[in-house]
Structure 1
Amino acid sequence: MDNIKVLKVAGDSNINAVMDAAIKEITESSIVNIDCIGVKASYQAVKVLILLTERLVKSGYKFYIRPYYVKVDTLTKENDTIAKTAIRWTIIAKKK
């Protein structure tokens, strides 16, 4: 579990593409993290989670979802690093 894939969701992310990437990662390693910063990104992430959980249920997976805060470094236009707080959703899924 050291190399858990982190999918970063933005306010303009394609929710179907993020969901497909999450499904791919779950089928390969049973775990994925989804990060978002800000209101629009959080809304997109929630829509991804709705689609993702529907797909997991239909595919016969048992899953756990845990949201929590993480500090992440982001780059500014001047290439400076600034720390921000992101919401991270960890999804762990196994076939029933």
Structure 2
Amino acid sequence: MDIKVLKVAKDSNINAVSVAALEEVVNSGICHLDAMGVSANYVLVKALILIVGTLESNEFQCNLRPYYVNVPVDGTNDERPIKTAIRWTIMAKR
């Protein structure tokens, strides 16, 4: 099973993130959401609030799990092409 990873940026639309994650969770039961940086994580937390509220109002049981992941970063002149992001895993079932 291939779990879809959605990347959230600081300028991501909260509603678009919520809709994309909800579609994936409802269809496959699980989804990863990655965010790197304070602003991106703020956007992600707001989207998670919408996602969980929508899932619970549609009688889904959901679990959230945050953890750190190392993500390769392209196009940087930095010495470290790998940075740490926070990944939230959403699992839902009826």
**Shorter-normalised TM-score: what interval?**
over 0.9
Q: Which residue of 2 aligns with 1:37?
A: 36
Secondary structure, aligned partner of 1:60:
coil
Q: Structure 2: where are the runs of 5+ without partners?
A: none
Equivalent position of 2:6 in the other structure: 7
Provide TM-score, normalisation by structure 1.
Answer: 0.91
Q: CA deviation at 1:92?
A: 0.4
Structure 2-normalised TM-score?
Answer: 0.93
- Runs in 1 of length 4+ with deviation above 3 angstroms? none
The residue aligned with 1:49 is 48
Aligned residues: 93
Sequence identity percentage: 49
Q: 2:59 and 2:38 mapped to 1: Cα distance?
A: 31
Gap runs ≥5 in structure 1:
none
Give 1 or 2: higher strand fraction. 1
Root-mean-square deviation (CA, aligned residues, Å) is 1.5
